[in-house]
Structure 1
Amino acid sequence: MRLVCAKVTNFRALESVMIRIDDATTLIVGRNNSGKTSFVELFERFFGGERPRFTLDDLPTSQIDALKRAVRTYRQAERFRDSDPVQASALTDRAIKLLPKILFRLTIAYREDEDLSAISAIIIDLSEDCHEAEIEARFEARSALDFLRTAIKAKADDKQLAKYFQRHFHATFYAVGTGSATGTELPIERALARQIISTMFVFAQVKFDDVSADRTRKLSRTFEKFMETYHQDEQTTVAKFENALLGMARRLDSNYDEIFAPVLSWMDAFGKGIFGPGQRPRIVSELDPVSIVKNTTRITYASSDGSRQLPEAHNGLGYSKLAFTVLQVISFLESHRRASPKPAVSLLFVEEPEAHLHPQMQEVFVRGIRDLLEDQDAEGVQVIVTTHSSHIVASGHFEAVRYFDCTGPTLVVKDLAEFRHTTKPVPAEETMRFLAKYMVLHRCDMFFADSVILIEGATERLLMPAMIRICAEQLRRDYVSVVEVGDAYAHRFRELLTFLGVRTLIITDIDSVQPLESVDKNGRKRTTYLTCRTETGGAVTSNATIKDRLPNLSTIDALLATTAEQRTFDRVRLAYQVPEAPGMRCGRSFEEAFILANAEILAKNLDQLALKSTFERHLEDPITAEDILQNAFEIAASLNEKKTDFAFDILMLDGWNVPRYIIEGLQWLIATSPNG
């Protein structure tokens, strides 16, 4: 049995979302305030240890407005109560329907060969074709009329309404029919719901003091709790521990007889007969393993020279957090292993494990959890991780990602497991294979970005921060992910970026080539393409990304004649080289475009360039800006093997100009930015 789906209605930003749960590990990702923590919190509120509590602020704004409309509508109904009972009844029904509910529906899948005793009470559809059962947790009014009557009598303002909401609304649980039993529901006790669904939460904000004093003892207390759980099982290790304590207790008893003998004699001095026959007390020790561990356990670390033991607070926050998390996980797995009867679903939630962990530790975290589950034989345990870390996403399974997209008016959860079905039928498998292999660290940044810039190579990657600073300062307030995808693979990300809906600027080269027709010795026509200047007659583009985005525009002349609107596709903008000014030549690559935009600056500062000889190879002294403009194509071609060096040369220059096509693209990002 496993949890396969969770549907949320009317809880904070989660107005109406469905999250599919992976069989093993689900990664909940997204930007800040996208609802990740709210999703986890619903499990804690309904299925955690304490009684479910919600406040009026837990409702979306639209539902708070609906609650207020319900009160106003019922107030109108009361005015018609005597004069028009039919109208009053209709208004009352409308008011009751307006009252909001927080709904949390969980779908559990099962197989016919499994022991279904754990969920037998919630299986309503008994048909052979049905292999799912559902629980719906609700936070709703105990009595809608009681709430409405109280609200209108008190003429409730916002503060009073919040108070009455907490007083009159409560949690209820139902078994909900599926398949042929759809529409049927049976109330169940919360205790039963918690027996079916077991939860454990490891939260991001755990109090660790990074100070020399050892007051908090967070790790030590965690080990104490683990011992309390572990002690319930009569294993050999525990038995050895108890035998050691028994021997200690016997030695203490002998010492107690000697220590307390004077005390007993003093008691006799206050009168004979204080103790009746056979009642003379004896002081003995009673060492309980759990109590011993609970009150005396301390975690220490050896000093660097091994000469002394240091308290737990001397360990770094990262290692303390990691040790705490792993121990919490092991404790949960031990409880799961010993549980009898076992819950139908066991969920382990780990919130933002990257807190205090350096990138390398983050990268192995998810794999470590997965390996731990396998080592502990924790069949049936499902892990749900919320994270802001691209390192954790990169180390997880691509299809386990659930992307919380809050860029629109309402939150949308995008399931990367469903992404396969949204890609084009023919290249779907090829696209998925490519993304699964190449969605490495820096590419996973796009899940947390306000906007994405796809670039071709190292030159643009090195210079992009400087170019943003020069011509698009406002973008520095956004979270911009710059992803290097090469000159042939940007189109591979098209489906994913469309699926995610993130604003994307694709900066690529126009790559002009000249087609030449020839006939081989067998009489067959062949077409070869030679690199050429953009102004060459009949030149076309060889760029895969441009041909993918603008399939009907292949000639350079046609591409240079396009409008900004033609190069914009919903939330995606394509930017390639254009003339710096009317009548000027257009570069075919970034290097040539930069030279054309900065010919005068390069001529004045040629002696500062490490690649000065590359320019001199194509020019004669004295080198002028006009000479550089005329030979920009040849100079850029010579830089093909030295692009990184050229980028560093540019960074050392002062006052250089960003090529126009990049300025226009970055300005588009600013114009479409929610922070713009």
Structure 2
Amino acid sequence: MKLCEIGIKNFRLLQDARMRLDTTGITTILVGPNNSGKTSTIEAMLAFLQRPIKQLSINDFSLGCRDAFKKFETHVLTPPAAAAAGAPATEPPPLPALPVLSLQLKFDYDDTGPDLALAGELLMDLEDASTTVTVEIRFGPANPQQLAEAYMKDRDDDQSFADYLAVTLHDHYKLDQFKLSPDGTQAERLPDRGILQRLIRIDVVSAQRHIDDREEGSKATRLSTLLHAHYERRYKVDAPSDFKALEKTLREQSTALGPQYVKAFDGLMKGLAKFGHPESPKLTVRAELSADGLFKDTTRVYYAAIAAAGLPADGAAAAIDQAFELPERYNGLGFKNLIYIVLCLKSFREDVESDPEHRPRVHLVVVEEPEVHMHPQMQAVFVQKVSEFLAPAAGETGVQLLLTTHSSHMAANCGFAPIRYFRRNKGTVEIKDLLSFEASAKTDPEKTAMEFLRKYLTTTRCDMFFADKLVFIEGQVERMLLPRLIAALEAALRDKLTSTYVCTVEVGGAYAHLFRKLIEFLQLPALVITDLDSIDGTTKKKTPVASGHASSNATLSKWLPGSADLPKLMAAGEAEKTSGRVRVAYQVAEAAGQPCARSFEEAFVYANSAWLLANKAKLLATGDTFTHADAAALTADAYAISLPKVDFALDLLANSGWATPKYIREGLEWLAKQ
């Protein structure tokens, strides 16, 4: 059995969110910017399935629920209209509906005995083809009418209904669980929560792990506590004879230490006796050693450290490296974090498998932000390795792994299918399913684009999954200069870009249009900065814009503005260059009557001809290129000038005072306003 879908309503940012889990593998990865609902998803499952329901509060209701609470309050406090003389009495209008927190879980099951036994209790139809069952847990008002009466009777002066409910929530809201029909239209109350415990168990490795134990007595979690858990769950069961031998050894040591303890504490005991009276009990001290206490309190993990022995003397044998042991707190946090996660996962699985009679059908393991302290290479392989580590053996409970991460390295090495993208929009969260995005490619061109994206995103970083806005650029020059170009904007516009996470994607104009479906799916504001790439109408060779007839740029012809005709491209306004939350920016004339550039370098010359000549001595790599008599001569020669791209970008970075080409400035101003 596998958990295949989660639905959450009215819980914090998740006003109405639904998420499918990857059931072909065992791992689903939750990505998205900070405060986009990833942790709230985990918290909702824990709140409804494992934690005491008393921990839920009025603050766990989505902000959108406040309107419903206000409508209920207004209805209750509004006196009913008096009936006209002689008119028949009318029924009072019904109470407005109150918000309900709910968690819906859908499970796929197999035709195996254990699955069928549990699924049979949850089926709501007799269709042979049905292979799913659905349960829903609701936290809602037990009796709205009684709640209304209690509010009228017990509220303080001018106390709002939301404030009253914050204090009395658990007096009026109760937890119920239901099994649902496949279409969700029918629900039948389950007698108790027992079936939920047989269905699913959740274990979490929290993002706040406190693994740094450099200070004794701090909140740090020593690895030895996890070794103790392993000892409790496995060693006692799998090796009972060895366990008995260990306990016997410790008892013998306790007996041997007894007289030594008496000597050590004899003076203290005599001193304490002076404060008593004749009937005071006589105190003694014994040594009581047990494996339980030994693992829990006195065990420490040590690491082997290799030290070179130094250079050998002449004629001597080669020096041998020496091994030393150091306490766990001397090891790096990254490796300690990895060991901690692995030990937690091992402990979770052993806890489930150690009680075969009460094993749940689904074991959901959640690891929050595993990338903490890990270097990029370790992050890149973590998903694969942890999936292999948790893969259940024959006869074991099915395990599913849920990872939340801000690491583009983790996202880049798992393909589209397991990724669930969380996007916050106007106070609510939408969960984007990249599995459905991948399946949406129907035509051959779309499949080609999808294959390109899959390869591109596995060879570069997936920063776009964590970004607020996107900028697609042509090459190295734009990438290197983009921060300076943004800094040159007016303060109000600059702040709107520098205060958000802008992801830069370097991809040429021939390929940028392949990102169209992904950008539209993610619904991120995106600016595509590309080149006009003018060509001759007959030979199809590059040519100045003034003598060109078409553009060879696939982004312009296949996406925005959707034409290869050069006159149409040059005449296009902002409306033709914009589609939804995407805008394209390509070269335009800097002023009326001036030529239009074909590339960034040419556009920069047109915008800065006087500056280039005045500052050519400062341009260490490219200054010798600008030997023209005046700005007009330089402008006339701009198309023919060949500039080494990286060297030119470095020269511009090293100097200031130049102007941003008009097309880039207009594009960045548009992006800042989104």
Task: Give the TM-score normalised by the residue count of structure 2.
Answer: 0.86
Deviation by residue 1:91-139 (Cα, 9 ceiling, x = unmatched): 3x333xx111101110001122452234433233232121111111111
Cα distance in 2 between the residues matched to 1:530 and 1:167? 78
Alignment pair present for 1:137 and 2:143: no
Measured at CA, do residues 251 and 34 of structure 1 come closer, stay the same or move farther in structure 2, by a change above 3 Å? closer
Which stretch of structure 1 is more off in the superposition, 414-423 or 487-496?
Answer: 414-423
Alignment pair present for 1:467 and 2:491: no
Instruction: Give the equivalent residue in structure 2 for 1:626.
Output: 632
Instruction: Give the equivalent residue in structure 2 for 1:334.
Output: 350
Alignment pair present for 1:364 and 2:381: yes
Q: Residue 45 of structure 2: which of 43, 46, 55 is its match?
A: 43
Q: Residue 355 of structure 1: which of 355, 372, 380 is its match?
A: 372
Deviation by residue 1:267-295 (Cα, 9 ceiling, x = unmatched): xxxxxxxxxxxxxxxx9987643333123
Which stretch of structure 1 is more off in the superposition, 394-403 or 47-56?
Answer: 47-56
Q: Which residue type is aligned with residue 324 of structure 1? A: Y
Deviation by residue 1:141-167 (Cα, 9 ceiling, x = unmatched): 233233222111123434323112233
Cα distance in 1 between the residues matched to 2:89 and 2:79? 7
Cα distance in 1 between the residues matched to 2:364 and 2:387? 14
Deviation by residue 1:500-533 (Cα, 9 ceiling, x = unmatched): 10000000000001022xxxxxxxxxxx411100
3-state SS, counterpart of residue 564 of structure 2: coil
Alignment of 1:205-224 (within 5 A): 205-209=208-212, 211-213=214-216, 215-216=218-219, 218-224=221-227
Instruction: Give the equivalent residue in structure 1 for 2:99.
Output: 100
Cα distance in 1 between the residues matched to 2:651 and 2:397? 57
Q: Which residue type is aligned with residue 197 of structure 1? A: I
3-state SS, counterpart of residue 382 of structure 1: strand
Instruction: Give the equivalent residue in structure 2 for 1:16.
Output: 16
Measured at CA, do residues 188 and 444 of structure 1 come closer, stay the same or move farther in structure 2, by a change above 3 Å? farther
Say if 1:352 and 1:388, in contact at 8 Å, map to a contact too: yes
Cα distance in 2 between the residues matched to 1:21 and 1:288? 44
Alignment of 1:119-158 (within 5 A): 119-155=119-155, 156-157=159-160, 158=162
Alignment pair present for 1:557 and 2:563: no
Measured at CA, do residues 40 and 511 of structure 1 come closer, stay the same or move farther in structure 2, by a change above 3 Å? same
Cα distance in 2 between the residues matched to 1:85 and 1:331? 73
Cα distance in 2 between the residues matched to 1:551 and 1:574? 8
Instruction: Give the equivalent residue in structure 2 for 1:67.
Output: 69
Cα distance in 1 between the residues matched to 2:656 and 2:30? 44
Instruction: Give the equivalent residue in structure 2 for 1:274.
Output: none
Say if 2:367 and 2:404, in contact at 8 Å, map to a contact too: yes
3-state SS, counterpart of residue 468 of structure 1: helix
In the TM superposition, residue 548 of structure 1 has moved relative to its aligned partner by: 0.9
Alignment pair present for 1:388 and 2:401: no
Deviation by residue 1:205-261 (Cα, 9 ceiling, x = unmatched): 12244635464451235324522543376324x643442332343454466599989
Q: Which residue type is aligned with residue 580 of structure 1? A: E
Q: Residue 655 of structure 1: which of 637, 657, 667 is its match?
A: 657
Alignment of 1:546-585 (within 5 A): 546-550=556-560, 553-585=563-595
In the TM superposition, residue 541 of structure 1 has moved relative to its aligned partner by: 0.1
In the TM superposition, residue 646 of structure 1 has moved relative to its aligned partner by: 1.6
Measured at CA, do residues 144 and 113 of structure 1 come closer, stay the same or move farther in structure 2, by a change above 3 Å? same
3-state SS, counterpart of residue 558 of structure 1: helix
3-state SS, counterpart of residue 560 of structure 1: helix
Instruction: Give the equivalent residue in structure 1 for 2:273.
Output: none
Instruction: Give the equivalent residue in structure 2 for 1:529.
Output: 540
3-state SS, counterpart of residue 417 of structure 2: helix
Say if 2:250 and 2:290, in contact at 8 Å, map to a contact too: no
In the TM superposition, residue 395 of structure 1 has moved relative to its aligned partner by: 2.4
Cα distance in 1 between the residues matched to 2:253 and 2:166? 62
Cα distance in 1 between the residues matched to 2:334 and 2:168? 44
3-state SS, counterpart of residue 356 of structure 1: coil
In the TM superposition, residue 412 of structure 1 has moved relative to its aligned partner by: 1.5
Identity of aligned residues (%): 33
Measured at CA, do residues 166 and 375 of structure 1 come closer, stay the same or move farther in structure 2, by a change above 3 Å? closer
3-state SS, counterpart of residue 383 of structure 1: strand
3-state SS, counterpart of residue 530 of structure 1: coil
Say if 1:137 and 1:172, in contact at 8 Å, map to a contact too: yes
Cα distance in 1 between the residues matched to 2:228 and 2:534? 68
In the TM superposition, residue 466 of structure 1 has moved relative to its aligned partner by: 1.0
Say if 1:577 and 1:589, in contact at 8 Å, map to a contact too: yes
Instruction: Give the equivalent residue in structure 1 for 2:499.
Output: 477
For the aligned residue pairs, the C-alpha RMSD in angstroms reads 3.2
Measured at CA, do residues 579 and 375 of structure 1 come closer, stay the same or move farther in structure 2, by a change above 3 Å? same
In the TM superposition, residue 433 of structure 1 has moved relative to its aligned partner by: 1.5
3-state SS, counterpart of residue 580 of structure 1: coil
Q: Which residue type is aligned with residue 582 of structure 1? A: A
Cα distance in 2 between the residues matched to 1:460 and 1:86? 78
Q: Which residue type is aligned with residue 121 of structure 2? A: A
Which stretch of structure 1 is more off in the superposition, 127-136 or 604-613?
Answer: 604-613
Say if 2:616 and 2:623, in contact at 8 Å, map to a contact too: no
In the TM superposition, residue 200 of structure 1 has moved relative to its aligned partner by: 0.3
Residue ranges of structure 1 left out of the alignment (5+ in a row): 264-282, 517-527
Alignment of 1:104-115 (within 5 A): 104-113=103-112, 115=114
Say if 1:454 and 1:507, in contact at 8 Å, map to a contact too: yes
Cα distance in 2 between the residues matched to 1:109 and 1:329? 24
Say if 1:611 and 1:645, in contact at 8 Å, map to a contact too: yes
Which stretch of structure 1 is more off in the superposition, 221-230 or 397-406?
Answer: 221-230
Measured at CA, do residues 217 and 571 of structure 1 come closer, stay the same or move farther in structure 2, by a change above 3 Å? closer
Cα distance in 2 between the residues matched to 1:328 and 1:487? 47
Cα distance in 2 between the residues matched to 1:375 and 1:129? 27
Measured at CA, do residues 364 and 249 of structure 1 come closer, stay the same or move farther in structure 2, by a change above 3 Å? same
3-state SS, counterpart of residue 170 of structure 1: strand
Q: Residue 202 of structure 1: which of 201, 205, 209 is its match?
A: 205
Which stretch of structure 1 is more off in the superposition, 110-119 or 20-29?
Answer: 110-119
Instruction: Give the equivalent residue in structure 2 for 1:277.
Output: none
3-state SS, counterpart of residue 151 of structure 2: helix
Deviation by residue 1:324-357 (Cα, 9 ceiling, x = unmatched): 2221111112223334143121101111223333
Which stretch of structure 1 is more off in the superposition, 364-373 or 551-560?
Answer: 551-560
Say if 2:178 and 2:187, in contact at 8 Å, map to a contact too: no
Give the number of equivalent residue pairs: 628
Q: Which residue type is aligned with residue 542 of structure 2? A: T
Q: Which residue type is aligned with residue 413 of structure 1? A: I
Alignment of 1:472-621 (within 5 A): 473-474=494-495, 475-516=497-538, 528-536=539-547, 538-550=548-560, 553-612=563-622, 615=625
Measured at CA, do residues 215 and 206 of structure 1 come closer, stay the same or move farther in structure 2, by a change above 3 Å? same
Instruction: Give the equivalent residue in structure 2 for 1:319.
Output: 335
In the TM superposition, residue 451 of structure 1 has moved relative to its aligned partner by: 0.6
In the TM superposition, residue 172 of structure 1 has moved relative to its aligned partner by: 1.8
Cα distance in 2 between the residues matched to 1:31 and 1:508? 27
Which stretch of structure 1 is more off in the superposition, 307-316 or 181-190?
Answer: 307-316
Measured at CA, do residues 496 and 385 of structure 1 come closer, stay the same or move farther in structure 2, by a change above 3 Å? same
Cα distance in 2 between the residues matched to 1:109 and 1:307? 52
In the TM superposition, residue 318 of structure 1 has moved relative to its aligned partner by: 2.9
Residue ranges of structure 2 left out of the alignment (5+ in a row): 266-284, 308-321
Instruction: Give the equivalent residue in structure 2 for 1:275.
Output: none
Cα distance in 2 between the residues matched to 1:291 and 1:125? 53
Deviation by residue 1:362-404 (Cα, 9 ceiling, x = unmatched): 3232222112123867662111111222122112232211111
3-state SS, counterpart of residue 545 of structure 2: coil
Say if 1:451 and 1:502, in contact at 8 Å, map to a contact too: yes
